[in-house]
Amino acid sequence: MVDEKGIAVKKEDDFSEWFTDVVVKSGVAEYSSVSGCLVLKPLGYEIWDRIKNYVDARFKKLGIKNAYFPLFIPEKLLNKEKEHFEGFTPEVAWVTHAGNTKLDERLAVRPTSETIMYDSYKNWVRSWRDLPLKINQWNNVVRWEFKHPVLLLRTREFLWNEGHTCFATQTEAEAEGKDIISIYKDTTENMLALPGFIGKKTDKEKFAGAEYTITIEHLLPHGRAIQGPDFHYDGQNFSKAFGIKFLDKDEKEQYVYQNTFAISTREIGVMIAVHSDNKGLVLPPEIAPLQIVIIPIFKAEDREKVLKEAEKLKYHLKEFSVELDDRDYYTPGWKYHEYEMKGVPLRIEIGPKDIEKEQVVFVRRDNHKKEFVKIKDVEKTAKEILDDIQKSLYDKAKSFLDESTVKITTFKEFSNAINDKKIVLAPFCGDIACEEDIKQKSDGVKSLNMPLEQKNISEKCFCCSKPAKFWVHFGKSY
């Protein structure tokens, strides 16, 4: 059941309040009594399940197997990899007591699992025959640093996958990156209808402990960027810290090369923010738990006839996720509001007059367009419309992303574009000190990522005027 009240504010007037209103009133999620932690309700969890199942099936084709590791991580393990540990120190929640007894060693509540997993990996890998080792886990993590939680987009606990793989050579490890990013790109684009920039993080913004990080960056309607799925090539940083080594075919001892990668429930929030409107949730058909709802319209004397035809209609649409709402105690208008709020992509209305004309009424959720469809054409038309909704949502989001991206070469152009809520593509020297200077001068603007294809750059850095090494996306972000 959704909230009977409509969305209180318009998307264009107050994005933050609108977003929270949509998430809560649609029944996707809500805040809990634990600060910064959410309740993912059945609708939200069904969406996550669809993402999880889709990604997991693709992982399995790559030979990645699922496992599970403890939620609690001994402090001594975190200390083994100083760079990684220091990167997460402000976010770590600690368990210090069991009942009234103080623990001999603090236990971290999992902010990420490298340290606890690699303590096992060092025992699992002995020979080149044990490689590659490809393990993934679907779990929750806790990060306690921030002060202002936002449902789904920034919470202290969230769900994700953690892929942790080991290879005998650098070439094999880096090759996996293309496969993983391809899976995440397919998921975000073809299921969630979300476009994004794929690129490499700068050294300043890469994952702590990684050699490099590749991300998909999205743009929200109010002009802020947000990081989506990511892949980290970790080289031998963790294997040397944790002693994950093997004897190669020449009986020489080598350290493994490692990768980590993740997609999280944040993607649900991004999808809601990008596609939804002032009537509530808008779901792409490929991710929607319920794709079609049939709403019969009848008076008491027509009830049996209309419901009989509605049941036939449901049967003919069985290839889709379809529901017939035959509740008598709610009016059709009330049901329209409910399913609009829930974001069901397609509504089909059928009443006595429609039956006489051998037709039904199709109503799209994305643009509210109504169309009369002959009953004999329902299956074919439903597929066409659902496919078009999926494509239209992606195309609209892609147009917004393209129109919101500006290529610049000077700091003045940079400032003007940022003030206009744009993402900028700028020539950059790559120096961490310069990047920190940019952030300070621009009220917190950060580098997002660098396009993977970098052609010869003759421009100077837009900030310090040194020779530029990369084209880099910059923007305000979550």
Both tokens of 182, joined, read 């391809």
Both tokens of 29, joined, read 């999620």
- What's the Cα-to-Cα distance from 238 to each of 108, 117, 160, 299, 384, rounded to whole Å? 18, 11, 21, 69, 49
d(CA 198, CA 395): 17
E strand spans, 333-379: 346-350, 359-364, 370-374
**E strands, 269-320, where?**
292-296
Tokens representing 141 are 């993590």
Judged by DSSP in three states, 476 sits in: coil
What pLDDT shows up at residue 83?
64
Cα gap 275→434, rounded to integer Å: 36
Neighbours of 224 (CB within 10 A): 17
Q: Which residues, listed in sequence order, are joined to residue 235 by a DSSP beta bridge?
A: 258
Residue 161 has which token pair? 């996958």
- 443 phi and psi angles, rounded to 5 deg: 60, 45
- Ordered by where they begin, the domains of the chain are 15-275 (3.30.930.10), 292-385 (3.40.50.800), 405-475 (3.30.110.30)
Give the pLDDT confidence score for residue 90 in this predicted structure: 77
What does the radius of gyration of the chain's CA atoms come to, in whole angstroms?
25
Backbone phi, psi, residue 93, to 5°: -100, 135
Segment (H or E) for 103? strand 101-109
pLDDT in tens, the chain (478 residues): 555 579 999 999 999 999 999 999 999 999 999 999 999 999 999 999 999 999 999 999 999 999 999 999 999 888 876 666 566 677 889 999 999 999 999 999 999 999 999 999 999 999 999 999 999 999 999 998 777 889 999 999 999 999 999 999 999 999 999 999 999 999 999 999 999 999 999 999 999 889 999 999 999 999 999 999 999 999 999 999 999 999 999 999 999 999 999 999 999 999 999 999 999 999 999 999 999 999 999 999 999 999 999 999 999 999 999 999 999 999 999 999 999 999 999 999 999 999 999 999 999 999 999 999 999 999 999 999 999 999 999 999 999 999 999 999 999 999 999 999 999 999 999 999 999 999 999 999 999 999 999 988 999 999 999 999 999 999 999 8
- Rounded CA separation 190/391 (Å): 9
Q: What is the dihedral of CA 50, 53, 58, 61, to 10 degrees?
A: -160
Instruction: List, in order, residues 6 or more apart from 268 with CB less than 8 Å away.
Output: 28, 44, 47, 48, 51, 152
Predicted pLDDT at 209: 86
Query: Locate tokens 């909230």: which residue?
Result: 3
Pairing of strands 292-296, 322-324: parallel
